[in-house]
Each structure stands twice: as structure tokens, then as C-alpha cells.
């Protein structure tokens, strides 16, 4: 009732302003105000004053309306959460008693997770295996073509140790078929710089078209292993046992996704160093490929086949290095798939 009366007063106030403004304008139009020189000369100022009053009243009304909408949305969310919880409880009551003996705790956890999913826009996988995570990882990229994804990782992640390079293949399709973009920051320790595995990993990323950065010696408690859409629409965070075995993963949207986005942007702005390979690193990648897959091509012939002409190593541009790295990656991936 109180809100209704407040709205009624605001409407009456606006109608009074409009009516007075209209009467003054009509009186001026017909010359009825000429007998009052002061009023006649201040009509523009008076009109502007009434316009300002009307706009001020409308602004106040709009602010109140917005506040009421937010309050209503929050209230409806609480109501929905309560109704959902009651509905899930009733559903559990209808589960066969024999199932309950064995699976009751599991079913209750499902109900709890679903409530969190709806209310908090978050779903947590406490026992997600690596294969399932890889499937969700692929689906996330597929559902957002042309998006920019920002990620953090480290060289020994299970994603990069797969001999068939499935995660890198997903990245490749996302970038080169779905026209997406990926920026990835690797948490690096001093020992990683001497690791051939890490150098090959960076070369593969470079060949695929992933924008790669490194940050040195970030303490484990300050690290977050994330994949987040550049617009904050969806995000993943993963946790590991000793940075080797996947322990849990969390998918989220809205506020928490934006929190991860902020974490990445601050890390990127303050500590990240862009990876730009030298010729020797791409050449090392080529030699690695030749050794593993027993390819008979030599470096000079390979450069000529890819670039269309002979180019001295010292004259290779960044784009030409990317072309060479991409060709090595494509052939490596093709050989890897044959072995599946």
C-alpha cells in the first residue's frame, strides 16, 4: 500500500508539472503573458526549470524501480531455492527402499549439488577423472566458437602428457576451425627451462596458434589453474594432488567466473612474459619429430617444402617460424592418431 501511494504521488507531481508547463506555453503562444513583462521574459528559464523537475522525478522513480527489481529477483531466487529443495526432498522419498539402503547418501549429494548449481551458478566435481575432464574441456571450447579463452597451467599437467595430444587437438580445432583465440600462462620453475618436454610443449602451442606466456616461481598457494571465457560467461578451476593427479574441478559462471578473469588479467599484466621461439627451438622440435617418428626429411628440405623456397635460418621471420611449427605439429598429430 505504501509503495502504491508513493507511486501515485509521483504520477500526480508529474501531471501537475506537465499541466503548468502546457498552460504557460499556450498563454505565451496567444500573447496572454505580454501584460506581465517579467514572466514573459523568463518563460525559457521557467520551462527549463519544469523540465528539470520532471526529469529529476523520473530519475528518482527509475532508481526506485531498479532497486525493487533487484529485491524481487533476490526474493524469487530464495523462493525458487526453497521450492527446489522441497521438490528434491519429495523426489528422494519416492526412491525405492532397496536403492536407498545403498545409494541414499549419494542421492542426497546429487540433490545438494543440484541446489548449488541453480542457486550459486557453480557445479563441483569432487572425484572427476581425467578422461571426463577432457570431455568437458572439449565441450566448453565447442560451445563458444570465436570466443577468447584465458587459461593457466603448468608443464606437467596431464593434459599435455597425453601421447595422442587430445587436448592440444581440441585447442587446434577451436582456433583454426572455430576461429577462437586462446591465451595460456604457464607457471614455470627454473628446472622447467632445461626440460625438453617443456620446450616441445611450447613449440606445439606456438604452432597451433595459442598465445603463450610464462611466469616464474609463483608459490603454489598463489596459483590457480583456470580456464575462463574472456567475457566471464563460463570458467573452470582445477585442483591437483602434488600438481600431478586431478583431485577436483569446479565449473562456474557470473561473479566467480569474473573473479578468475580478474586473476588472469592481473597475472598477465604484472608478471607474464610472452613466448617467442628462436629458430633453434623450432629446429629442435623438428629434430624431435624426426627422431620419434623416424621421418627422413632434413631441415633444409623441410623449410623449402613449407615456405616454397630456400630461406636461411637467420632470415626466418616470426610468421615463417609459426608456419614451420604448425606443419611439424600437423605431421606429429597425424602420426600420433595412427597409433591410437
Residue with cell 565441450: 139
Q: Give, in order, the Cα–Cα distances in Å from 229 to each of 41, 51, 252.
A: 60, 45, 11
Segments of the chain assigned E as strands: 122-125, 148-153, 181-188, 211-216, 225-229, 235-241, 245-252, 273-274
CATH of the structural domain 124-274, one choice from 1.10.1740.10, 3.10.28.10, 3.30.870.10, 3.30.70.60? 3.30.870.10
C-beta of residue 121 within 8 angstroms of C-beta of residue 254: yes
Single pTM value for the model: 0.70
Cα–Cα distance between 43 and 64 in angstroms, integer?
A: 32
The predicted structure's pLDDT at residue 1:
47
CA distance 298 to 302: 6
Q: How far is CA 129 from CA 25, 113, 209, 239, 278, in A?
A: 76, 18, 28, 12, 37
- Given this model, what pLDDT does residue 220 score? 85
Q: Is 275 left (phi over 0), alpha (psi -120 to 50) or beta?
A: beta
CB 119 within 8 A of CB 196: no
Average pLDDT, the chain: 81
Reduced to 3 states (helix: H, G, I; strand: E, B; else coil), residue 151 is: strand
- The CA distances from residue 254 to 20, 119, 120, 231, 261, in Å, are 48, 12, 9, 10, 11
| Distance, CA of 197 to CA of 332 (rounded, Å) | 15
Q: For the chain, which ranges sit under pLDDT 70? A: 1-18, 20-93, 95, 99-100, 103, 106-107, 115-116, 118, 242-244, 337-340
Calpha distance 115→295 (Å, rounded): 55
Distances from the Cα of 3 to the Cαs of 8, 63, 64, 68, 302, in angstroms? 9, 14, 10, 10, 77
Q: Using one digit for the tens of pLDDT, what is the confidence trace for 70-113?
A: 554 554 444 445 565 666 666 666 767 776 677 677 667 777 77
Q: Are 148 and 220 in contact (CB under 8 A)?
A: no
Distance CA 17, CA 23 (A): 10
The whole-number pLDDT of residue 211 equals: 97
The confidence score (pLDDT) of residue 137 equals 93
> Residue 218 CB: number of other CB atoms within 10 A?
17
Element (H, E) at 174: helix 166-176
Domains of the chain, residue spans:
2-85, 124-274, 279-338
Amino acid at each position: 500500500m505504501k509503495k502504491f501511494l508513493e507511486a501515485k504521488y509521483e504520477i500526480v507531481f508529474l501531471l501537475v508539472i506537465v499541466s503548468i508547463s502546457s498552460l504557460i506555453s499556450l498563454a505565451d503562444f496567444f500573447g496572454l503573458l505580454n501584460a506581465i513583462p517579467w514572466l514573459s521574459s523568463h518563460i525559457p528559464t521557467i520551462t527549463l526549470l519544469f523540465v528539470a523537475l520532471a526529469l529529476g522525478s523520473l530519475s528518482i522513480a527509475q532508481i526506485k524501480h531498479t532497486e525493487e527489481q533487484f529485491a524481487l529477483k533476490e526474493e524469487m531466487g530464495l523462493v525458487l531455492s526453497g521450492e527446489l529443495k522441497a521438490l528434491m526432498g519429495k523426489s528422494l522419498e519416492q526412491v525405492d527402499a532397496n536403492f536407498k539402503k545403498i545409494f541414499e547418501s549419494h542421492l542426497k549429494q546429487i540433490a545438494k549439488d543440484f541446489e548449488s548449481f541453480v542457486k550459486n551458478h557453480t557445479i563441483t566435481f569432487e572425484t572427476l577423472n581425467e578422461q571426463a575432464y577432457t570431455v568437458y574441456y572439449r565441450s566448453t571450447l565447442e560451445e563458444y566458437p570465436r570466443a577468447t579463452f584465458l587459461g593457466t597451467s603448468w608443464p606437467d599437467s596431464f593434459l599435455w602428457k597425453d601421447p595422442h595430444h587430445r587436448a592440444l587437438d581440441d585447442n587446434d580445432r577451436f582456433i583454426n576451425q572455430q576461429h577462437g583465440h586462446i591465451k595460456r600462462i604457464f607457471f614455470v620453475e627454473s628446472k622447467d627451462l632445461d626440460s625438453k618436454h617443456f620446450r616441445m610443449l611450447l613449440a606445439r602451442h606456438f604452432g597451433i596458434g595459442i598465445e603463450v606466456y610464462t611466469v616464474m616461481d609463483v608459490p603454489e598457494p598463489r596459483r590457480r589453474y583456470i580456464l575462463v571465457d574472456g567475457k566471464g560467461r563460463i570458467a573452470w578451476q582445477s585442483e591437483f594432488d602434488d600438481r600431478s593427479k586431478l583431485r577436483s574441478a569446479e565449473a562456474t559462471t557470473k561473479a566467480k567466473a569474473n573473479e578468475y578473469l580478474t586473476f588472469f588479467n592481473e597475472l598477465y599484466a604484472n608478471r607474464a612474459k610472452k613466448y617467442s621461439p628462436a629458430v633453434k627451438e623450432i629446429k629442435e622440435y623438428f629434430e624431435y619429430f624426426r627422431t620419434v617418428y623416424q621421418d627422413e626429411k632434413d631441415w633444409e628440405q623441410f623449410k623449402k617444402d613449407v615456405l616454397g623456397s630456400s630461406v636461411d635460418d637467420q632470415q626466418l621471420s616470426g610468421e615463417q617460424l609459426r608456419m614451420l611449427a604448425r606443419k611439424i605439429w600437423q605431421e606429429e598429430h597425424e602420426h600420433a592418431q595412427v597409433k591410437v
